[in-house]
């Protein structure tokens, strides 16, 4: 029998009826749901270091773009699953969502799609948390070293990691060196790939 993972989801949607529909679908599965209607509110929640299983974003918000919200949010949540919901079929927006590792879904969205996404996102979030705990226990990684590893697994370059952590590339290099000495991996990419294999169950 499949294990049911309960998640914590952020819904960024300015249409109250759409937001309520998504919220009801998620709550039926036992998930915790936070709904906001503006980019400003979403930015504040994504920057407060809370943990999210997944993020649902409307493309057009009253004070900005859902893609811009996600781009800023990726600084804090590089691996969190995301779904962009919109009535707009736009190649640039679709490509932008892809670049931010998000699904792009055109409204109206079937409840089954929301449920499937939420279950997969919650399960992935749970696996990531377990893997992170295991690496800390196994190798004694610091918070900074683990954060650098997770960001590398999300595909961020050392410069992007440094920018996201408001740090220098030299400091990131030191974190990487310390981490590799602890894990025995040859490179940051090797360690990141090994973490991803563990997340995939391989």
Same domain for 23 and 51, yes or no, is: yes
Same domain for 55 and 25, yes or no, is: yes
Please indicate, yes or no, whether the overall pTM of this predicted structure exceeds 0.85.
Answer: no
Q: Residue 163 burial by CB count (10 A; 0-12/13-18/19+): exposed, middle or buried? A: middle
**What is the rounded distance in angstroms from the CA atom of residue 53 to the CA atom of residue 56?**
10
**What is the rounded distance in angstroms from the CA atom of residue 81 to the CA atom of residue 100?**
10
Same domain for 60 and 93, yes or no, is: yes
Q: Residue 187 burial by CB count (10 A; 0-12/13-18/19+): exposed, middle or buried? A: exposed
Same domain for 73 and 162, yes or no, is: no
Contacts of 164 (CB under 8 A, 6+ apart): 75, 76, 78, 151, 156
Q: Which domain holds residue 157?
A: 140-199
The stretch 186-198 carries a mean pLDDT of 94
Average per-residue pLDDT in the chain?
Answer: 92
Same domain for 94 and 164, yes or no, is: no
φ, ψ of residue 132 to 5 degrees: the values are -60, -45
The stretch 61-78 carries a mean pLDDT of 94
Residue 131 lies in a domain: no
pLDDT surpassing 70 at residue 3:
no
pLDDT at position 2 is 46
Residue 23 lies in a domain: yes
Same domain for 117 and 162, yes or no, is: no
Domain boundary (93, 122, 151) is at 122
pLDDT confidence band for 4 (50 / 70 / 90): low
CATH number of the domain within which 154 lies: 1.10.10.10
Residue 84 lies in a domain: yes
Residue 152 lies in a domain: yes
Residue 66 lies in a domain: yes
Q: Is 58 left (phi over 0), alpha (psi -120 to 50) or beta?
A: beta
Residue 98 lies in a domain: yes
pLDDT surpassing 50 at residue 79:
yes
Same domain for 108 and 185, yes or no, is: no
Q: How does pLDDT run across 7-45, given as a tens digit for each residue? A: 999 999 999 999 999 999 999 989 999 999 999 999 999
CATH number of the domain within which 23 lies: 3.40.50.2300
Q: Residue 155 burial by CB count (10 A; 0-12/13-18/19+): exposed, middle or buried? A: exposed
Same domain for 116 and 148, yes or no, is: no
Same domain for 81 and 30, yes or no, is: yes
Query: Cα–Cα–Cα angle for 136, 74, 54, nearest 5°?
Result: 80
Same domain for 96 and 50, yes or no, is: yes
Q: Answer whether 158's CB lies under 8 Å from 171's CB.
A: no
**What is the rounded distance in angstroms from the CA atom of residue 149 to the CA atom of residue 138?**
14
Query: Cα–Cα–Cα angle for 90, 153, 91, nearest 5°?
Result: 5
Q: How does pLDDT run across 135-189, given as a tens digit for each residue? A: 999 999 999 999 999 999 988 889 989 988 889 999 999 999 999 999 999 999 9
Percent of the chain past pLDDT 90, that is, above it, reads 79
Same domain for 163 and 70, yes or no, is: no
């Amino acid at each position: 029998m499949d294990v049911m993972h309960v998640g914590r989801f952020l819904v960024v949607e300015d249409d109250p009826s759409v937001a309520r529909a998504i919220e009801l679908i998620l709550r039926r599965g036992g998930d915790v749901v936070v709904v906001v209607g503006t980019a400003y509110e979403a930015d504040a929640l994504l920057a407060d270091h809370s943990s999210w299983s997944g993020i649902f974003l409307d493309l057009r918000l009253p004070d900005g773009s859902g893609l811009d919200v996600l781009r800023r949010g990726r600084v804090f949540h590089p691996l969190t699953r995301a779904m962009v919901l919109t009535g707009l079929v736009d190649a640039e927006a679709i490509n932008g969502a892809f670049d931010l590792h998000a699904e792009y879904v055109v409204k109206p969205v079937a409840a089954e799609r929301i449920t499937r996404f939420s279950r997969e996102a919650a399960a992935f979030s749970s696996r990531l948390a377990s893997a992170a705990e295991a690496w800390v226990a196994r190798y004694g990684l610091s918070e900074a070293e683990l954060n650098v590893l997770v960001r590398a697994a999300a595909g961020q370059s050392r410069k992007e990691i440094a920018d996201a952590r408001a740090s220098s590339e030299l400091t990131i290099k030191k974190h990487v060196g310390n981490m590799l000495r602890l894990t025995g991996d040859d490179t940051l990419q090797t360690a990141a790939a090994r973490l991803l294999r563990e997340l995939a169950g391989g």
